[in-house]
């Protein structure tokens, strides 16, 4: 094999954001003409690393070399000139501009030096289309074309700017399978024929196998492994991606599953973009059991939970809580029916960072008599006393109940959310990502609390990106792939390696009922 | 925008006020006046006689209720810029109720007038509220438009159907019967018993916002509407109700102006008073108590400015000082941020010239 | 003539149209400026203050240097300064654009009234050197073109500015960057162009155009007069035009003509309909427009959803 110089070299890159070390001493070489896949869970630091390469962020420490030259100034303009192009996860397109206008932005062809030459722009785009075999409707506004088409526009934009190294940030997250296949054909084409280098960020393992030459795995800001794609398989990658080094003791389980508490029948949900995210999914949870959802990020589990809890509209199907049909009701009514919810994103949905810890603990109970004298007066002493009690009981550590929730650490914020939601003593609990971004000590505490709830007879639906967590807590595990249930297993009946096949859709059980 | 009141805030407020007076002094010097004489005249103008103190209190009342109306909206995350229009509508409706029921007992007329002001102004405020909640139409724009519409409508009514028989008044309603006037508290000043009603309203608003369960829910709705909805609150209804109450308060201010000091409706019952109240609320960071205290401060400034004419200085210097305080307060956090970034950069450049890479600003572009 | 015919003939008289052009011009100039900031993603409600400053410093310049041209020059300089000040606070220091706009309006009233009283006394000033009017005897004989006679030069200047602004926004790369800086600033940033710089430029342009609007008001329309608060909410009318026109300078000019038309017929029809009522029409139309835009967008979305 011929020894070549790397086209991109990261040397000991670290990136510190307020409160998070997003990249932790990463060193990596990207070779010319390869497709390099960078995988990891959400928040593992993949996008941060690529944003550094693209010059959007300057690293806290470390150096980046592009084609043998050290990057002195982290600025997109500078990096674009060196031949780096990036297709962002959220497209960087101006919706009201036409395709051609978006592609030529910042390097517009001009008439008489000051006028925008639309005809020349469209000609230039057409030439690019021919060169790379990618067709787009040049003169249609971007807001009127499909997402897959918009992505082509993004790729063409990078090519127009002379990119030789193309970064694709989760390019398939918004694509249909057909569009994904087309994208891969394009990638193979530009790599083979034009000698380009492609870095692709993803968490879809089948795609890694399909497209990449090498794969790097990131976890919690660290690069934990680089492999030739031919040397690995999806199961190995999955365990690298989600594996957690600390092993916990077995949790004590008591009691048997009882009455049916939560049922979901043939649910269909569309996501924010109007695409079908949950397709004909059914599940059942009984009192005193935990049903864990095992799915790779972005396969509809978030939408499923938001639809059950009333945060998202249901297209069709039925949700029943304790025998009461709550389909399409608002979150308040569904809570009334006996459901509490620990949401996946605590800062956006789970609490108010601008309110105090005490206030966040109170929410939902504020109308109870003991806090609400004469129907309007808030009894601050009672609130404080209650908050202090919960604060202690849930081992929350911070600057006290009068401190702002937004100033706390992730783990303690999560404890606040869990303390509040558990305190309703609702028979049905929906728990999403209970320990994301939470330190090890707090994880153990949260896990034991969840198990305690189960043993007391709560019906719990748990969704987590951490497979170890799902295995540790669940009585039964439901796998979801592309919005559909692919299997349902008793805990202990299946191994992590085997379940990976169901999570990636390569295996399915006949009956989709869970 | 909705930050807490703390020591840092108090210091920047004091510094801003000081700097504003400094800017005022420069302008005074530039136009050939002595700042010391002028500021002395201002203090005298505000406190020299009981009459002036009365005017200070009356104007502080107007500013405070308008400011609190703004606070109330901002608490649930809606920005009521339409108070000026709501005030005028309330004022003219209240005035006309008093005029048409002339002869009836004050015990009937005054409650009816207050009710009329509340209902008409509240409904008028409901329009932008509903548009915001149901259709996400920007309430700032709609309320600005509705201000002008209200002003024109009131002009029309005061010039036409409800016009006074008095030929010297171009656009005004009939004078109210003296029986309906709020009693003056200090002879010769604008201060009337309306201030007691205003004090009760101010107390209620403060109480609701700070001490009640409803206020608690409002606060959460404004802070994080998604969280509020998630935890089962009806946020749409809360937003509309707050907007209506905010409008009703402005309407009541209009009624107070008519029954307390003007005794008839004319367009000058409010001279952009709501906008001044709104700016006070902004400086007070939408905190009710701070709004009330700052209203008092700006009322002193405004009434004191009348005294400037005694020493030949145009009283508009008051507006300049007031707005410069706002400029400083609004720019303060951004300014300090820029300063600290620059300091950090210098530190980074000094400490580590080799890998010198200061954190670049990220995101945060306003749209 | 029947009553109705009388009304119609006075609505569509030359006088009305002439009046329409006259009152539309300052609003149009400010609205074009407002279109710039609107495109840059800044909600600028401080235009009224900007106009007022232009009006005052126009007259002051004319008063000090005895020529209206110096007045216009002074207004422009002040316009640049006000635009810079606005951008400093809103773009650099990220202050709430609404607070700054509000305060700017009040500040302008305070400053101009204060200075006006210092220089001219309480009643303002009159009869300073004014801008020339176009008076062509032959124009009066041509039917339609008659309305263009006896107008301030600014009326014609505005046409040039409308066309130039339209070309700038829609036909030059800079206009594309300007629009991108408001619609999706990250797009511009990842293309290596600073969206903040576009916002600065927009603020300055807005300052200058509003200053011109003010200068026209004081030096053109009212021949060298300054009266306190003479902008008289024109900045808010301009703001309504911007919203109505979705920040398209050409449409903003048409919107300004519409406002001017309603103002003109209000004056004409005083015996029949109150001008106060006709004045409200454009604002109500603007609100209805906003609602309609939202409703249409939602309908479009729903239709798109059903397709998939």
C189 Cβ under 8 Å from any chain A Cβ:
yes
Specify the higher pLDDT residue, A210 or B184.
Answer: A210
Indicate which of B213, B221, B222 best probes the interface with A, i.e. most A CBs within 10 Å of its own CB. B213
**How distant is the alpha carbon of residue B165 from its chain centre?**
33
Q: Per residue in A499-510, pLDDT tens?
A: 878 887 777 876
Closest by CA to B214, choosing from B75, B62, B24, B356, is B75
Among C41, C99, C285, pick the best mutation site for testing chain B contact (most B Cβ within 10 A): C99
- pLDDT of A120 > 60? The answer is yes
Question: CATH homologous superfamily for A8-242?
Answer: P-loop containing nucleotide triphosphate hydrolases (3.40.50.300)
pLDDT number for residue C49: 95
Contacts of C94 in chain B (CB under 8 A): 333-334, 337, 364, 366
Nearest residue of B to residue C88, measured between CA atoms: B331
What residue segments make up the domains of chain B, in order of their start?
Answer: 56-299
What fold is seen in the domain A251-338+426-514? Answer: Rossmann fold (3.40.50)
Taking a C-beta distance cutoff of 8 angstroms, is the pair B355, A61 a contact?
Answer: yes
Q: Which whole number is the average pLDDT over A405-413?
A: 81
Look at phi and psi of residue B43 and say left if phi exceeds 0, alpha if psi is from -120 to 50, else beta: alpha
Q: What's residue B131's pLDDT?
A: 93
Domain boundaries, chain C: 3-131+154-278
Helix (H, G, I), strand (E, B) or coil at B20: helix
pLDDT tens, residue by residue, C20-53: 888 899 999 999 999 999 999 999 999 999 999 9
Among C177, C190, C193, the residue with its CB nearest the CB of A88 is C190
Asked whether the beta carbons of A52 and A74 are under 8 A apart, the reply is yes
Closest to B294 measured CA to CA, from B14, B80, B87:
B14
Compare CB distances from C187 to A56, A86, A105 and report the shortest one's residue: A105
Amino acid A215: pLDDT: 93
Q: How far apart are CA A181 and CA A171, in angstroms?
A: 12
On whether any CB of chain C is under 8 Å from the CB of B177, the answer is no
Name the residue of chain C whose CA is nearest to B138's CA.
C290
How high is the pLDDT of residue A412?
84
User: Which of C99, C111, C276 lies at the smallest CB-CB distance from B326?
Assistant: C99
In whole numbers, what is the pLDDT of chain A averaged over residues? 86
How does pLDDT run across C141-197, given as a tens digit for each residue? 666 666 666 677 788 889 999 999 999 999 999 999 999 999 999 999 888 889 999
DSSP assignments along B250-308, one per residue? HHHHHHHIIIIIISS--GGG-SSHHHHHHHHHHHTTT-HHHHHHHHHHHHHHHHHHHGG
- Please give the pLDDT value at position C165: 96
Q: For residue B197, give every residue at least 6 positions away whose Cβ sits within 8 Å of its Cβ, in sequence order, or none.
A: B252, B256
- Give tens-digit pLDDT for A385-401: 999 999 988 888 877 88
Q: Report the distance separating Cα A223 and Cα A39, nearest Å.
A: 10
Q: How far away is chain B from the Cα of A318, in angstroms, using its nearest Cα?
A: 20
Which of B2, B214, B230 is nearest residue A343 as measured by Cβ atoms? B230
Summarised one tens digit per residue, pLDDT across range A243-276 is: 654 455 677 788 787 888 999 999 999 887 677 8
Percentages of chain C per state (helix, strand, coil), in multiples of 5:
80, 0, 20
For an interface test with A, the pick among C38, C40, C187 (most A C-beta atoms closer than 10 Å) comes out as: C187
C96 neighbourhood in chain B, CB within 8 Å: 1, 282, 330
Of A92, A95, A115, nearest to C186 by CB-CB distance is A92
Max mean pLDDT range (A202-211, B227-236, C224-233): B227-236
Distance of CA A97 to the CA centre of its chain: 29
Q: What's the rounded mean pLDDT across residues A94-102?
A: 93
Cα B246 versus chain centre, distance: 11
pLDDT digits (tens, 9 = 90+) for A294-323: 887 778 899 999 999 999 999 999 999 998
pLDDT at C146 (0 to 100): 65
Whether C106 contacts B276, CB under 8 Å: yes
CA dihedral sign, ordered A378, A382, A387, A388: positive
- Please indicate if any CB of chain C lies within 8 Å of the CB of A95: yes
Contact B220 A59 (CB under 8 A): no
Contact: B365, C185; criterion CB under 8 Å? yes
Tell me how crowded residue B214 is: count the other CB atoms within 10 A of its CB: 20
> Of A190, A241, A233, A183, whose CA–CA distance to A208 is shortest?
A233
Q: Is B357 on the interface with A (CB under 8 A)?
A: yes
Is the pLDDT at B357 greater than 50, yes or no? no
Name the region of B232 (left: φ>0; alpha: ψ -120 to 50; beta: rest): left
**What is the CB neighbour count within 10 angstroms for residue C171?**
16
Q: How far is B351 from chain C (nearest CA, A)?
A: 27
**CATH node for C3-131+154-278:** 1.10.3470
- From A373's Cα to the closest Cα of chain B, the distance in A is 9
Residue in B71, B73, B96, B69 with CA at minimum distance from that of residue B84: B69
Neighbour-count burial of C157, counting CB atoms closer than 10 A to its CB (0-12 exposed, 13-18 middle, 19+ buried): middle
What's the pLDDT band for B365 if we cut at 50, 70, 90? Answer: very low
Over 70: is that where the pLDDT of C69 sits?
yes
3-class SS letters over A182-227: HHHHHHHHHHHHHCCEEEEEECCHHHHHHHCCEEEEEECCEEEEEE
**Backbone dihedral angles phi then psi of residue C226, each to the nearest 5 degrees:** -125, 130
Condensed to tens digits (0 to 9), the pLDDT of residues B63-98 reads 999 999 999 999 999 999 999 999 999 999 999 888
The average pLDDT across A417-437 equals 90
Neighbouring-strand partners of residue A341:
A430
Q: Write out the residue limits of the CATH 3.40.50.300 domain(s) in chain A.
A: 8-242, 251-338+426-514
| pTM attached to this predicted model | 0.84
User: Model confidence over C234-289: pLDDT tens digits?
Assistant: 898 899 889 888 899 999 999 999 888 888 887 777 667 777 887 788 888 888 88
DSSP per position, C215-271 = HIIIIIITSS-B-TTTTTTHHHHHHHHHHHTTT-HHHHHHHHHHHHHHHHHHHHTTT
Best mutation site among C40, C169, C180, C190 for testing chain A: the one with the most A CBs within 10 Å? C190
| Residue B179 in contact with partner chain A when CB distance is under 8 A | no
Question: Looking at residue A76, what is its pLDDT?
Answer: 86
- The β-bridge relationship of strands C151-152 and C133-134 is antiparallel
Looking at beta carbons, which residues of chain A come within 8 Å of C175?
116
Question: Number of B:C CB contacts under 8 A?
Answer: 156
The pLDDT value given to residue C308: 46
CA separation for the pair A380, B311 (Å, rounded): 53
Judged by a CB distance cut-off of 8 A, whether residue B271 touches chain C is: no
């Amino acid at each position: 094999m011929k020894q070549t110089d790397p086209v991109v070299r990261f040397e000991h890159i670290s990136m510190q954001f307020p409160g998070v070390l997003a990249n932790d001493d990463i060193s990596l070489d990207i070779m010319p003409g390869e497709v390099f896949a960078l995988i990891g869970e959400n928040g593992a630091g993949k996008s941060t690393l690529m944003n550094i390469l693209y010059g959007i962020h300057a690293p806290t420490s470390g150096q980046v070399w592009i084609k043998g030259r050290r990057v002195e100034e982290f600025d997109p303009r500078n990096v674009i000139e060196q031949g780096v192009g990036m297709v962002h996860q959220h497209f960087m397109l101006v919706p009201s501009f036409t395709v051609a206008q978006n592609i030529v932005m910042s390097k517009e062809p001009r008439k008489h030096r000051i006028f925008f030459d639309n005809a020349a722009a469209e000609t230039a785009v057409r030439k690019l289309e021919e060169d790379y075999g990618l067709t787009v409707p040049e003169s249609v506004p971007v807001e009127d074309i499909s997402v897959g088409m918009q992505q082509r526009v993004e790729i063409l934009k990078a090519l127009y700017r002379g990119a030789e190294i193309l970064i694709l940030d989760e390019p398939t997250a918004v694509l249909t399978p057909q569009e994904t296949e087309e994208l891969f054909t394009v990638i193979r084409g530009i790599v083979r024929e034009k000698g380009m280098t492609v870095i692709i960020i993803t968490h879809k393992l089948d795609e890694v196998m399909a497209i990449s030459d090498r794969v790097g795995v990131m976890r919690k800001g660290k690069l934990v492994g680089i492999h030739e794609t031919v040397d690995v398989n999806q199961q190995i990658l999955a365990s690298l991606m989600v594996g957690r080094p600390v092993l916990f003791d077995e949790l004590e389980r008591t009691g048997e599953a009882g009455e049916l508490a939560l049922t979901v029948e043939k649910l269909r949900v569309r996501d924010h973009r109007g695409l079908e995210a949950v397709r004909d999914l059914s599940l059942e949870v009984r009192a005193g059991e935990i049903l864990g959802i095992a799915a790779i990020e972005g396969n509809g589990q978030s939408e499923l939970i938001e639809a059950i809890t009333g945060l998202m509209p249901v297209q069709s199907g039925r949700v029943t809580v304790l025998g009461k049909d709550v389909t399409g009701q608002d979150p308040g009514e569904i809570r009334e029916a006996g459901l509490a919810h620990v949401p996946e994103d605590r800062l956006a949905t789970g609490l108010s960072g601008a309110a105090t810890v005490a206030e966040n603990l109170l929410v939902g109970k504020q109308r109870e008599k003991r806090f609400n004298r004469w129907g309007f007066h808030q009894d601050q002493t009672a609130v404080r006393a209650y908050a202090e009690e919960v604060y202690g009981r849930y081992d929350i550590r911070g600057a006290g109940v009068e401190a702002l929730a937004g100033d706390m650490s992730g783990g303690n914020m999560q404890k606040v959310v869990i303390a509040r939601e558990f305190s309703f003593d609702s028979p049905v609990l929906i728990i999403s990502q209970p320990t994301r971004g939470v330190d090890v000590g707090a994880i153990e505490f949260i896990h034991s609390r969840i198990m305690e709830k189960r043993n007391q007879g709560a019906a719990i639906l748990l969704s987590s990106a951490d497979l170890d967590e799902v295995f540790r807590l669940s009585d039964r595990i439901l796998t979801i792939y592309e919005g559909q249930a692919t299997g349902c297993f008793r805990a202990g009946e299946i191994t992590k390696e085997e379940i990976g096949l169901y999570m990636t859709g390569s295996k399915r059980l006949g009956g989709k009922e869970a | 925008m909705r930050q807490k009141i703390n020591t840092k805030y108090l210091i920047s407020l004091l510094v801003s006020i000081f700097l504003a007076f400094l800017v005022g002094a420069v302008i005074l010097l530039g136009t050939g006046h002595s700042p010391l004489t002028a500021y002395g005249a201002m203090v005298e103008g505000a406190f020299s006689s009981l009459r002036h103190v009365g005017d200070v209190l009356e104007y502080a009342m107007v500013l405070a209720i308008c400011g609190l109306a703004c606070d109330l909206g901002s608490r649930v995350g809606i920005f009521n810029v339409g108070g000026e229009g709501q005030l005028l509508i309330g004022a003219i409706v209240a005035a006309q109720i008093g005029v048409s029921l002339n002869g009836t007992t004050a015990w009937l007329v005054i409650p009816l007038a207050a009710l009329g002001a509340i209902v008409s102004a509240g409904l008028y405020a409901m329009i932008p509220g509903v548009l915001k909640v149901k259709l996400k139409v920007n309430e700032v724009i709609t309320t600005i438009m509705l201000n002008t519409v209200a002003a024109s409508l009131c002009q029309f009514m005061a010039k036409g159907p409800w016009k006074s028989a008095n030929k010297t008044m171009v656009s005004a309603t009939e004078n109210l019967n003296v029986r309906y006037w709020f009693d003056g508290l200090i002879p010769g000043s604008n201060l009337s018993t309306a201030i007691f009603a205003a004090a009760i309203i101010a107390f209620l608003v403060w109480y609701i916002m700070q001490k009640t369960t409803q206020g608690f829910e409002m606060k959460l709705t404004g802070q994080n509407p998604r969280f509020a909805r998630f935890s089962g609150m009806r946020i749409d209804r809360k937003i509309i109700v707050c907007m209506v109450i905010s409008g009703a308060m402005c309407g009541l201010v209009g009624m107070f102006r008519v029954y307390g000091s003007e005794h008839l409706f004319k367009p000058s019952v409010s001279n952009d008073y709501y906008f001044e109240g709104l700016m006070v609320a902004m400086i007070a960071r939408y905190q009710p108590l701070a709004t009330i205290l700052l209203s008092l401060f700006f009322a002193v400034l405004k009434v004191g400015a009348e005294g400037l004419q005694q020493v030949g200085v145009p009283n508009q210097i008051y507006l300049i000082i007031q707005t410069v305080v706002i400029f400083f307060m609004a720019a303060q956090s951004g300014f300090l941020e820029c300063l600290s970034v620059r300091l950090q950069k210098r530190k980074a450049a000094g400490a580590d010239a080799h890998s010198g890479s200061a954190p670049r600003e990220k995101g945060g572009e306003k749209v | 003539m029947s009553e109705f015919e009388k009304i119609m003939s006075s609505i569509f008289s030359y006088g009305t149209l002439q009046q329409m052009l006259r009152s539309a011009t300052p609003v149009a100039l400010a609205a074009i400026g407002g279109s710039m900031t609107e495109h840059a993603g800044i909600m600028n409600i401080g235009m009224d203050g900007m106009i007022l400053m232009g009006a005052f410093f126009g007259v002051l310049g004319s008063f000090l240097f005895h020529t209206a041209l110096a007045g216009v020059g002074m207004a422009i300089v002040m316009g640049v300064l006000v635009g810079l000040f606005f951008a400093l606070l809103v773009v650099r220091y990220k202050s709430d654009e609404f607070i700054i706009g509000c305060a700017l309006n009040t500040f302008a009233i305070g400053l101009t009234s204060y200075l006006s009283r210092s220089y001219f006394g309480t009643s303002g000033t009159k009869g300073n050197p004014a801008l020339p009017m176009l008076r062509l005897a032959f124009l009066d004989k041509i039917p339609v073109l008659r309305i263009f006679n006896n107008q301030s030069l600014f009326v014609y200047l505005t046409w040039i500015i409308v066309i130039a602004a339209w070309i700038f926004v829609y036909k030059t790369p800079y206009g594309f960057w300007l629009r991108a800086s408001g619609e999706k600033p990250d797009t511009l940033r990842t293309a290596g162009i600073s969206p903040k710089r576009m916002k600065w430029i927009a603020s300055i342009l807005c300052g200058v155009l509003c200053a011109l609007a003010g200068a026209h008001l004081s030096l053109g329309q009212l021949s060298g007069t300054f009266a306190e608060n003479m902008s008289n909410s024109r900045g808010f009318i301009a703001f309504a035009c911007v919203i109505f026109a979705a920040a398209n300078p050409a449409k903003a000019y048409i919107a300004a003509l519409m406002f001017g038309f309603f103002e003109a017929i209000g004056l004409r029809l005083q015996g029949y309909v109150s001008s106060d009522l006709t004045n409200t029409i454009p604002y109500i139309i603007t609100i209805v427009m906003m609602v309609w835009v939202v409703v249409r967008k939602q309908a479009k979305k729903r239709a798109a959803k059903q397709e998939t």
